[in-house]
Amino acid sequence: PESVDRYRVEYYPTSGGSPQQFYVSRMETTTVLKDLKPETEYVVNVFSVVEDESSEPLIGRETTLPISSVRNLNVYDIGSTSMRVRWEPLNGATGYLLTYEAVNATVPTTEKEMRVGPSVNEVQLVDLIPNTEYTLTAYVLFGDITSDPLTTQEVTLPLPGPRGLTVQDVTHSTMNVLWDPAPGKVRKYILRYKIADEADVKEVEIDRLKTSTTLSDLSSQSLYNIKVVAVYDEGESLPINTEAPVPAPVNLRITDVTTNSFRGTWDHGAPDVSLYRITWGPYGRPEKQETILNGDENSLVFENLNPDTLYDVSVTAIYPDESESDDLIGSERTSPKSGPRNLQVYNATSHSLTVKWDPASGRVQRYRVIYQPISGDGPEQSTMVGGRQNSVVIQKLQPDTPYAITVSSMYADGEGGRMTGRGRTKPLTTVKNLLVYDPTTSTLNIRWDHAEGSPRQYKVFYRPTAGGAEEMVNTLLPGNTNYVILRTLEPNTPYTVTVVPVFPEGDGGRVSDTGRTLERGTPRNIQVYNPTPNSMNVRWEPAPGPVQQYRINYSPLSGPRPSESIVVPGNTRDVMLERLTPDTAYSINVIALYADGEGNPSPAQGRTLPRSGPRNVRVFDETTNSLSVQWDHADGPVQQYRIIYSPTVGDPIDEYTTVPGIRNNVILQPLQSDTPYKITVVAVYEDGDGGQLTGNGRTVGLLPPQNMYITDEWYTRFRVSWDPSPSPVLGYKIVYKPVGSNEPMEVFVGEVTSYTLHNLSPSTTYDVNVYAQYDSGMSIPLTDQGTTLYLNVTDLTSYKVGWDTFCIRWSPHRSATSYRLKLNPADGSRGQEITVRGSETSHCFTGLSPDTEYNATVFVQTPNLEGPPVSMRERTVLKPTEAPTPPPTPPPPPTIPPARDVCRGAKADIVFLTDASWSIGDDNFNKVVKFVFNTVGAFDLINPAGIQVGLLFPLGTFRRETEDKAELLKLHLIFPFFQNAVIFFVLDCCTTHVCVYVCACIIIYEICWSFCKYKGNPVYPERLLF
């Protein structure tokens, strides 16, 4: 309510505590309580205050919210000595606290903490201990209040160690140890090794750049445990282990197995093997054979073995220290004696069979193949092939005959076995893929694939399929020929063709095919169309068969003109007959021409048209001096068109022009503008004029351009554009002048339709006229106005008008770089002029005459332009009468200080050289005056008998000594304070005019602001004291 002055708000925790209060305006009904404790209940009392008297309170209770803890604490990107921690940011937090401590460190550690601002929700923990569990706790900070913690655990990775530990080149006393390098900044590698069942460990340090080393002086035939660790600044990595026994030979392979031998091959277990002991014998039997090989051998052929017997083979490596490796054991069975298997007889022809089998086991020396007709009509024959061959082609067999075939394997000690099969030769063959193709009206082409075998000749027979005697081609065709043409056949007749191969043993089989010769016919459906006075078109449907050409015969049905003909290719179905007689009937015959003759003629008739004139004359594209004329062509071979034209008013005179007969348009020029014309078009043929057609047209007047546009306005230019005149022009002329001016300017711009006018006056409107220039004169003008941009200030006003000053201000111009200001009194007396910066928008004129009228003018200036003036008038006010100035209070007369005892009886000449220029300032000058006054006042006698005192001002004049102490002090108190001090003649004045008495002691004090010069050389204050 309005009677309340203000409100008092009081609040305190319910659990107890000192109340806090503050006041708010009576206009407010809400407020925010700050700096409260989280999750705490508060009592709030609101009092109305009227003249410092409080009402009964309005009481309320509310509990603050608890502060939020960190959410989604995530540990990632874990390394050996670092990890990243990230959490979800909270609104209102003032920061975050992260503590972390090692749980299972092997060295003493302490808890560490990290504080970050409210905008950070991701940190990296570094310098951690590898392979150690850490407890991480995060808190949210709200000012001085800390949230409940959120804790997690994570373990750093162990230091990365080497990988891929391998042992190579093991001998009885050495081995090479290799590994892949460990990542990171490795200081060195340590290799530790010992015999597997012993406790004594040996250690080797290896440079960080090496990844292999050789262990020597090892015990032979011993198993070693080997470990390699990488050493970092932070400690050692986890070791990588391997074991290395005394090496034995490896990878025993048995190859080249036969009935009585095989080859054994193995790989060396180490490079320093001295000997190999090889033992072999039948499996399960005590008798064994043994042999010794050099250590650089790794293969042996075991011979003189029993067929089909399993043998055990063992290989033992013997080293220079006579230590032996474990035995490398293998077994293999020798091949048994056998005959060939899986006998196949295939690829039968009339004279050969192919025989194939799977090889017999063991070392077969050769195979014998025996074959004979099953009927026994022929002798038994055989052939031999090598032991590595498993197929053979049996040649020179009888056609269409079954054969018994036996294959046996032959070993060094006799036959191993045999296998028998059967096969049958094919009968004498026939030709394949017989084809009758490319028929004509009297021929057929025959082609076939050769018969199998070696036919010597071919017989070709043919006869009409409907019946008739079979005929043979006159000569037998050679056996390498597979093509023939049957000639002199009847048209449109089917034939049966048979081919028989001829072998030395007799004729092969017959193969037949059929083919039909083509019909020899006439073209069909002949049409005569599109007649003109001198031509007509003829078209037809093709004649059957392979027509090579068509001959078209044509002649007038009456009259003496002879028959004519033309020949066209066989794929042509349409032809134009030209150079015909107008209005004449013609007889036309189309005949199909074949390779072996011609068909019957197919007749037709047609009639040419009489001559005609042009049609549909059109006059268009009228201009001031031309007309375009177009017409439809007259029928027939028009040689040319003659166009006759003349005006229809005044004294008409016919004029004419011609165009070729292939054209149907012309442009008539030069014509008179705005004049009607009569136009006649005559078709001219080779033998005279044809018909004619007349039309009318009218040229247009001198049309002006259209639709003027004024664009791109600037201070000294604008662009004039217009739509072109509908008629062709020689060009355009622009005439322009300022509005109200009688001095027009003009420019001829040619055929363009846009032009920029330059060197115009700013802020000026121009009348612009555009004329179209024709051969016969000038059109009426197209008129518009354009205005250049204003280059003058606006809102020019005056203010602060006084008796000797007033100020002006104006609105700034966007392009101004400066303003020129002129102030002229109305009475014509001399005025003022000043140029100010373009950023200024006001100026004050001073030093004016009271009660005087002035004309203030402002010009806008750019780097190369000055705008028109903008003026205003203002009058200064009357000068007020000034109150008289009271005279200053005269200073009290100085009190002459008494002489000091120490100066009584003293004699000296003293000159005070004083700088009285403005450069020393008021305060310093007063200090100098005071100092001189007090010093002179301390002297007793000031005369030649006592102390002579001189005052010298470097002002171009000087003062002599005086013997009156009071006068001297008074004189000093009125030292002048000049603007410029003349210093350079001081020393001359001192020696010439002041210090003229001879005294035992002369003292000069120079009290000065800066150094001076004497005769061109600088003289410093300390050098003037002497």
Q: What is the CATH number of the domain that holds 909?
A: 3.40.50.410
Domain that holds residue 47: 6-63
Residue 524's beta-bridge partner residues?
A: 541
Q: Which residues contact residue 757 at a Cβ distance below 8 angstroms, ignoring those fewer than 6 apart?
A: 717, 718, 719, 720, 734, 736, 747, 766, 768, 786
User: How many angstroms separate the Cα of 980 from the Cα of each of 921, 985, 1015, 1019?
Assistant: 12, 14, 19, 18
Check residue 979 and give its pLDDT.
36
Burial track 46-56 (b if 16+ CB lie within 10 A, e otherwise): bbbbeeeeeee
- Name residue 82's amino acid: S
Mean pLDDT of the 888-907 span? 70
Whether the Cβ atoms of residue 670 and residue 655 lie closer than 8 Å to each other: no
Check residue 946 and give its pLDDT.
77
688 token code pair: 């005279």
User: Whose CA is closest to 83, among 119, 132, 139?
Assistant: 132
Sign of the Cα pseudo-torsion (292, 293, 299, 301, in order): negative
692 token code pair: 């004619």
Query: Is residue 483 assigned to a domain?
Result: yes
Residue 554, judged by CB atoms within 10 A of its CB (0-12, 13-18, 19+), counts as buried
Has residue 641 got a pLDDT over 70? yes
For the ranges 507-521, 668-682, 843-857, 980-994, which has the lowest average pLDDT?
980-994
Check residue 912 and give its pLDDT.
73
Has residue 1017 got a pLDDT over 60? no
Residue 230's beta-bridge partner residues?
A: 189
Question: Which tens digit of pLDDT belongs to each residue from 333-352?
Answer: 887 778 888 999 998 888 88
For the ranges 134-138, 599-603, 743-747, 1012-1016, which has the lowest average pLDDT?
1012-1016
684 and 731 in a single domain? The answer is no
Omega before 850 within 30 of 0, i.e. cis: no
Question: Which of 383, 404, 424 corresponds to the end of one domain?
Answer: 424
Whether the Cβ atoms of residue 361 and residue 336 lie closer than 8 Å to each other: yes
Three-state secondary structure string covering 39-94: CCEEEEEEEEEECCEECCCEEEEEECCCCCCCEEEEEECCCCCCEEEEEECCCCCC
Q: Which residues contact residue 987 at a Cβ distance below 8 angstroms, ignoring those fewer than 6 apart?
A: 1014, 1019, 1024
Calpha distance 176→190 (Å, rounded): 15
Confidence of residue 982 (pLDDT cuts 50, 70, 90): very low
Calpha distance 42→33 (Å, rounded): 10
User: Whose CA is closest to 269, among 193, 175, 197?
Assistant: 175
Has residue 907 got a pLDDT over 50? yes
Calpha distance 147→891 (Å, rounded): 79
Check residue 185 and give its pLDDT.
86
Check residue 800 and give its pLDDT.
92
600 and 640 in a single domain? The answer is no
Confidence of residue 376 (pLDDT cuts 50, 70, 90): confident
C-alpha dihedral (749, 754, 760, 765), degrees to nearest 10? 120
Check residue 1000 and give its pLDDT.
43
Check residue 1022 and give its pLDDT.
40
More confident residue, 9 or 1017: 9
Calpha distance 448→474 (Å, rounded): 19
Whether the Cβ atoms of residue 858 and residue 839 lie closer than 8 Å to each other: no
Whether the Cβ atoms of residue 488 and residue 514 lie closer than 8 Å to each other: no
Which DSSP symbol is given to 981?
A: -
Q: Is 885 helix (H, G, I), strand (E, B) or coil?
A: coil
For the ranges 165-174, 481-490, 537-546, which has the lowest average pLDDT?
165-174
For the ranges 50-54, 286-290, 505-509, 655-659, which has the lowest average pLDDT?
505-509
Task: Write phi, then psi, for 663 (nearest 5 degrees).
Answer: -95, 150
Which of 141-145, 314-318, 531-535 is predicted most confidently? Answer: 314-318
Q: Label the pairing between strands 947-952 and 477-478.
A: unpaired
Check residue 439 and give its pLDDT.
87
906 and 982 in a single domain? The answer is yes
In degrees, rounded to 5, the angle at the alpha carbon of residue 58 between the alpha carbons of residues 56 and 60 is 145
Whether the Cβ atoms of residue 787 and residue 760 lie closer than 8 Å to each other: no
User: Whose CA is closest to 599, among 464, 438, 440, 436?
Assistant: 440
Whether the Cβ atoms of residue 567 and residue 549 lie closer than 8 Å to each other: yes
Mean pLDDT of the 505-514 span? 86
Three-state secondary structure string covering 579-631: CCCCCCEEEEEEEEEECCEECCCEEEEEECCCCCCCEEEEEECCCCCCEEEEE
What percentage of the chain has pLDDT greater than the value 70?
89
Mean pLDDT of the 57-82 span? 87
Q: Label the pairing between strands 483-486 and 471-472.
A: unpaired
Q: What is the CATH number of the domain that holds 867?
A: 2.60.40.10
Query: Is residue 884 assigned to a domain?
Result: no
**pTM of the full structure:** 0.29
HSE-CB for 391 with a 13 A CA cutoff: 8
Which DSSP symbol is given to 490?
A: P
1003 and 913 in a single domain? The answer is yes
Task: Please state the domain count of the chain.
Answer: 11
Mean pLDDT of the 542-561 span? 87
Calpha distance 264→301 (Å, rounded): 6
What percentage of the chain has pLDDT greater than the value 90?
35
Has residue 548 got a pLDDT over 50? yes
Query: Is residue 891 assigned to a domain?
Result: no
Whether the Cβ atoms of residue 133 and residue 102 lie closer than 8 Å to each other: yes
562 token code pair: 């002879």
913 and 1014 in a single domain? The answer is yes
Whether the Cβ atoms of residue 220 and residue 321 lie closer than 8 Å to each other: yes
927 and 999 in a single domain? The answer is yes
Question: Which tens digit of pLDDT belongs to each residue from 393-432?
Answer: 998 888 888 999 999 988 877 787 888 999 998 888 888 9
Check residue 920 and give its pLDDT.
66
Query: Is residue 925 assigned to a domain?
Result: yes
Q: Is 118 helix (H, G, I), strand (E, B) or coil?
A: coil
Check residue 885 and give its pLDDT.
63
Check residue 967 and give its pLDDT.
59
Three-state secondary structure string covering 103-131: CCCCCCCCCEEEEECCCCCEEEECCCCCC
Query: Is residue 889 assigned to a domain?
Result: no
Has residue 989 got a pLDDT over 60? no
Whether the Cβ atoms of residue 222 and residue 195 lie closer than 8 Å to each other: yes
Which DSSP symbol is given to 126?
A: -
Check residue 541 and give its pLDDT.
92
703 token code pair: 């049309």
Mean pLDDT of the 155-168 span? 84
Check residue 884 and give its pLDDT.
63
Would you mind telling me the total number of residues written for the chain in this entry?
Answer: 1026
Check residue 361 and give its pLDDT.
78
Has residue 995 got a pLDDT over 60? no
Which DSSP symbol is given to 994?
A: I
261 and 323 in a single domain? The answer is yes
Check residue 984 and give its pLDDT.
38
More confident residue, 909 or 785: 785
More confident residue, 1012 or 136: 136
Query: Is residue 888 assigned to a domain?
Result: no
Residue 292, judged by CB atoms within 10 A of its CB (0-12, 13-18, 19+), counts as exposed
915 and 1005 in a single domain? The answer is yes
488 and 453 in a single domain? The answer is yes
More confident residue, 179 or 722: 722
448 and 466 in a single domain? The answer is yes
94 and 119 in a single domain? The answer is yes
Whether the Cβ atoms of residue 473 and residue 484 lie closer than 8 Å to each other: yes
Check residue 369 and give its pLDDT.
93
744 token code pair: 């027009």
Check residue 1009 and give its pLDDT.
47
Has residue 976 got a pLDDT over 70? no
Query: Is residue 684 assigned to a domain?
Result: yes
Query: Is residue 825 assigned to a domain?
Result: yes
Has residue 280 got a pLDDT over 50? yes
Check residue 958 and give its pLDDT.
44
926 and 1018 in a single domain? The answer is yes
Calpha distance 683→614 (Å, rounded): 6
Confidence of residue 1 (pLDDT cuts 50, 70, 90): low
User: Whose CA is closest to 822, among 801, 845, 840?
Assistant: 845
More confident residue, 728 or 874: 874
Question: Which of 587, 607, 627 corresponds to the end of one domain?
Answer: 607
Check residue 785 and give its pLDDT.
93
Check residue 796 and give its pLDDT.
93
Question: Which of 607, 636, 661 corresponds to the end of one domain?
Answer: 607
